[in-house]
Amino acid sequence: MLETKVKRYQYGNPFQTDAVVIKLPIYHEPLQKLSHENGNFIYKLEKGAAVYGLGESVRGINKRGWFYTSFCTDDDMHTENKHALYGSHNFLICNESQPFGIFIDYPGKVHFDIGYTDLDTLMIEPEMMNLDLYLIEGQNVLEIIQTFRTLIGQSYIPPKWAFGYQQSRWSYETADEIREVAYHFKKHEIPLDSIYLDIDYMQNLKDFTVDPHKFPDFENLVAELKEEGIHLIPIIDAGVKAEAGYEIYEEGIKNGYFIKNEDGTPFEAAVWPGKVHFPDFLNKETRTWFGMKYKTLIDKGIEGFWNDMNEPSIFYTPNAMKQAMDSVLENKEKNIDLGLFFGIKDQFSNILNKPEYFKEMYHDTDQGFVCHHEVHNLYGYNMTRAAAEAFDVIKEERMLLFSRASSTGMHRFSGIWTGDNRSWWSHLLLNIKMMPSLNMCGYLYSGADIGGFSDNTTEDLLTRWLQFGIFTPLMRNHTAKYTRAQEPYRFKSMAVMRHFICLRYVLVNHLYSEYMKACLSNTLYFKALAFEYSDDISKEIEDQLLLGDGLMIAPIYEQNKTGRVVYFPEEMLCVRFTTEKTYQLELMKQGHHYVSMPIDQLVIFIRPNHLLILNDEAQNVSQLDNHQIEIIAHVQTTCEGRYYEDNGLVKNPKLEDGLSQININIENNEVGTQWQKSKNSQLNHVTYTVYDAKQNEIFIHTENL
């Protein structure tokens, strides 16, 4: 089936990345669509055609007009001039009269010049010609995405509680601080499902340790929070502190589990713990060894992790530091001129994450002894895979797991967050634009650091970002050290922020259901309007998104705004939440409308013949009352909805095996429901609020199941 839509071409001797799960035969006919010149793949783009994809990247949903580099990079700036961010996702679609997709299965550096050098030319430049290239055909963008997603396998499904609101900062440093955060949330009745531990919980920044002074009763703390429905999520960094007597260091050295220099000795670098070695996650044995280390914390009650610094990020190597210091020593007696000044200064200024470091690192894999530079994008992926594969052994239930670095393939094992962003309005907009691209590439469980990581947030930015964050599967507020505190209870407008966090819980069953649908059918949770609508205006809209089957959102992402213009490609029903429990309905005709969006209101749009599911609010996901839901339906002719439900923990949920599917059918003021309830389903009461667009009437109906 897939073979009729996908052609696999092979060049050279590719390193096996396990990005794809369906092994297609290699197609030996000449390359179609693209031409292949001087080691590059070239394509003449149609005038005005959009190019979508590349997952975690700067700029817009339509990538045309810039060049991008696929090479996982630790960089928090995310400004327009950048080429690479934390992830590497080599899938793109040219949305032309005959749309097609391209996937470059190659773990090293690839440049994508998408109409930068020449407006009308797409040029793909892999650094080495050892790769699989997949050409994917389809009727339209959505079909091509579904085919690609089928090729790379089903996306990661986190536990349902991971859809609750999550609070983080670098760092809550002590058990007392964690308790204080939990206390404030409870006191102010702000719902909460998780609190995060950033690096300072560790003993001297050693992975899988807990500082016994700061956290003298760690297991009690975990249990105590769990009583309140709150999960504690520790960070794990890629670098293992080089410290005699530290078990993981000793074992790694003894067994040769660390990345090596070319001569086979362990490669040394400095990151947060000071001197570290990096586990060789491209080695299967290392993965098994390191993955099982997570058990130390799982045994203490931990149910989720975030993997960080796994591009890997490197502050310096002893060599680079020596070189920089030598440049001073050599010149200390000299008259420093401007050239020499910049020469010395830049040795230090540019010492973080020098690309040269990756050329000194080697992996011992069953595909050979390979230079890290050539397989760089697999590192964070395989760190995370190590954890996920171990979880399969350790734990019966789903674990929460997400990573900073990523590449295609890792989406089956975990989510990602979008890395260290900044407290900028433009990064809220980037967050909005990035989501459909990430979904295309298999990353459904994702979100940005709400409020912004670096720099100081502002009250209105945080509030607006929370409004958008309501819709991202990962809804986490996180900020850096030395920045303004971002917990909602720190602000005058706490009540407004609480309102939006509560709304997340009112919507959580709907969002979770849409997430499950997207995972199970290899479709999108977030879509650009251009993926569904073909009119000229929809094609260019990048600040509104479709969510799942039936919703559209149009976030505010500018300061001092109390409304914005929204484009409606078709008639939609506007649901305006003035409190968690009360909302107003208004039919919006096709076209542009200015929609008032004061900072304390949330607005969601329902597409024709689609519905929105609400549940009662709760202080965390475990307290949700799943017995009853309310359905708001926008009926033009016949409204068909599908709703998924499960216990939120079963692995590989399947219909009739833990997962309930509920099909809803509403025709004007007749409601018909078909239920395929699994034995776990708790649902027994539904209220329908049906907006009949033809009659311009609202009728309400309840049903006991």
Residues lying near a copy of itself in the complex (CB under 8 A): 48, 50, 59-60, 62, 64-66, 79-81, 116, 118-119, 270, 272, 274, 315-316, 321, 325, 328-329, 331-332, 336-338, 341, 344-345, 347-349, 351, 422-426, 454-456, 458-461, 492-493, 536-537, 540, 542, 558-563, 565, 567, 592-594
* Identity of the residue, 244 or 329, whose beta carbon is nearer to a copy of itself in the bound complex: 329
Output the smallest distance, CB 565 to a copy of itself, in A: 5
* Identity of the residue, 376 or 422, whose beta carbon is nearer to a copy of itself in the bound complex: 422
| Residue at 53: amino acid letter | G
CB atoms closer than 10 angstroms to residue 10: 15
* Identity of the residue, 273 or 442, whose beta carbon is nearer to a copy of itself in the bound complex: 273
Q: Cis omega (within 30 of 0) on the bond before 171?
A: yes
* Identity of the residue, 448 or 666, whose beta carbon is nearer to a copy of itself in the bound complex: 448
Would you state the torsion angle of the CA atoms of residues 410, 262, 15, 351, taken in this order, to the nearest 10 degrees?
A: 50
Output the smallest distance, CB 19 to a copy of itself, in A: 28
How far apart are alpha carbons 440 and 433 in whole angstroms? 12
Quickly tell me which residue has 């009690």 as its tokens.
Answer: 220
How far apart are alpha carbons 184 and 182 in whole angstroms? 6
Output the smallest distance, CB 570 to a copy of itself, in A: 16
Cβ atoms 59, 66 nearer than 8 A:
yes
* Identity of the residue, 253 or 344, whose beta carbon is nearer to a copy of itself in the bound complex: 344
Catalytic residue among 211, 308, 514, 617: 308
What DSSP character marks residue 199?
Answer: G
Catalytic residue among 311, 360, 549, 580: 311
Cβ atoms 70, 377 nearer than 8 A:
yes
* Identity of the residue, 433 or 504, whose beta carbon is nearer to a copy of itself in the bound complex: 433
Structural tokens at position 180: 């204080």
> Does the annotation count 656 as an active-site position?
no
How far apart are alpha carbons 641 and 611 in whole angstroms? 6
* Identity of the residue, 137 or 558, whose beta carbon is nearer to a copy of itself in the bound complex: 558
* Identity of the residue, 78 or 293, whose beta carbon is nearer to a copy of itself in the bound complex: 78
CB atoms closer than 10 angstroms to residue 255: 12
Structural tokens at position 20: 């794809």
What DSSP character marks residue 267?
Answer: P
Q: Cis omega (within 30 of 0) on the bond before 191?
A: no
How far apart are alpha carbons 454 and 460 in whole angstroms? 16
Output the smallest distance, CB 271 to a copy of itself, in A: 8
Q: For the chain, what's the residue count? A: 705
Q: Which long-range contacts (CB under 8 A, 24 or more apart) does 8-11 make?
A: 8/132, 8/133, 8/134, 9/132, 9/133, 9/134, 9/135, 10/131, 10/132, 10/133, 11/129, 11/130, 11/131, 11/132, 11/133
Output the smallest distance, CB 70 to a copy of itself, in A: 19
Output the smallest distance, CB 291 to a copy of itself, in A: 27
Catalytic residue among 360, 420, 459, 646: 420
Q: Give the angle 577-582-585 at the CA atoms, nearest 5°.
A: 60
> Does the annotation count 420 as an active-site position?
yes
User: 3-class DSSP state for residue 624?
Assistant: coil
How far apart are alpha carbons 283 and 292 in whole angstroms? 14
Cβ atoms 564, 432 nearer than 8 A:
no
> Does the annotation count 227 as an active-site position?
no
Cβ atoms 155, 149 nearer than 8 A:
yes
Cβ atoms 236, 208 nearer than 8 A:
yes
* Identity of the residue, 560 or 696, whose beta carbon is nearer to a copy of itself in the bound complex: 560
Output the smallest distance, CB 123 to a copy of itself, in A: 15
Output the smallest distance, CB 529 to a copy of itself, in A: 14
Output the smallest distance, CB 53 to a copy of itself, in A: 14
Continuous segment of H or E residues that includes residue 325:
helix 318-331
Which residues carry out catalysis? Answer: 308, 311, 420
